Amino acid sequence: MKTLGDGYKAVVVGASGGIGAAIVRVLREDAFCAHVEAISRNSHAPFDLENENSIAALSDHLKDYLGDIDLVIIATGALMVGNAGPEKAMKELDPGTMAKAFAINAIGPALILKHFHNLLPRKRRSILAVLSARVGSIDDNRLGGWFSYRASKAALNQVVRTAAIEIGRTRKRANCSVIHPGTVETPLTAPFAPRNAVSPDEAANNILRMLDDLTPSDTGGFFAYDGKQIAW
């Protein structure tokens, strides 16, 4: 991440997941990175994606502990909710499952944005990236199905787009974007036998390389791991 300068600090939320853990590994090997804070429910006992108080408390702790953060990556999310996989048809819709999907995939990240965006520096370049999914694109939906996952990711995309506008008013050099990581070999995708899936480490390198190329003028965009823009 050369564009963040020597000695940049990073926070990865969702570091226990396949992609999040790989991003942490890659960042820790980056000679320009001075510190990587890996956040998950396992590593930070009070942190709970569905508990705003815990998110606010963690943000306050990071501010006191690290000061400004140059790179924040939110890599949380769930394709399966409990034992329920993505719906194949409308008859499978369940209000409880759908509400849980929104809580994990949209509301939780929105609360992280609410409390963590103030960690970004005001005067220098910074990046706030939120991992989403191409299936959250309304324009790209050709197959149907996966109602709860698609809808919750579409909601997340709108949250990030809206947050980027507000963040840009006080942090002119910040880039806040939605990222589609591609199909990655993780426990999340394993039950669905994805084709042409890449390893988490390859995905992490792709994502970080792409983020390094984004500029403040790209803020609020929806990008694939290869830098190509995705229609909303």
Min mean pLDDT across 28-37, 78-87, 99-108, 149-158 is at: 78-87
In the chain, which residue ranges form alpha helices assigned H by DSSP? 18-28, 52-66, 95-102, 108-116, 147-170, 200-213
- Provide the token pair at 1: 């991440």
- The pLDDT tens digits for 63-91 are 999 999 999 999 999 999 988 899 999 99
- The pLDDT tens digits for 148-204 are 999 999 999 999 999 999 999 999 999 999 999 999 987 666 666 566 789 999 999
Per the domain annotation, does 231 fall within a domain? no
Per the domain annotation, does 232 fall within a domain? no
- pLDDT at site 63: 97
Residues 8 and 26: their CA atoms lie apart, in Å, by: 14
Per the domain annotation, does 230 fall within a domain? no
Determine the residue type at 77.
Answer: G
Q: What angle do CA 115, 155, 125 make, to 5 degrees?
A: 45
The residue segments making up the domain with residue 198 are 2-224
Instruction: Provide the 8-state DSSP code for 118.
Output: G
**200-213 helix and 18-28 helix, angle to the nearest 10 degrees:** 60
Lateral strand order in the sheet of 8-13: 33-39, 8-13, 71-74, 126-131, 174-180, 222-224
Per the domain annotation, does 47 fall within a domain? yes
- Provide the token pair at 175: 């880039």
Look up the CATH number of the domain holding residue 114. 3.40.50.720
**108-116 helix and 52-66 helix, angle to the nearest 10 degrees:** 30
Residue 100 has pLDDT above 90, yes or no: yes
Per the domain annotation, does 67 fall within a domain? yes
- List the beta bridge partners of residue 127: 71, 175
Q: Please say whether the beta carbons of 70 and 4 come within 8 A.
A: yes
- pLDDT at site 23: 98
Is residue 49 very low, low, confident or very high in pLDDT (cuts 50, 70, 90)? very high
Per the domain annotation, does 151 fall within a domain? yes
- List the beta bridge partners of residue 6: none
Residues 143 and 86: their CA atoms lie apart, in Å, by: 13
Total domains present in the chain: 1
Per the domain annotation, does 68 fall within a domain? yes
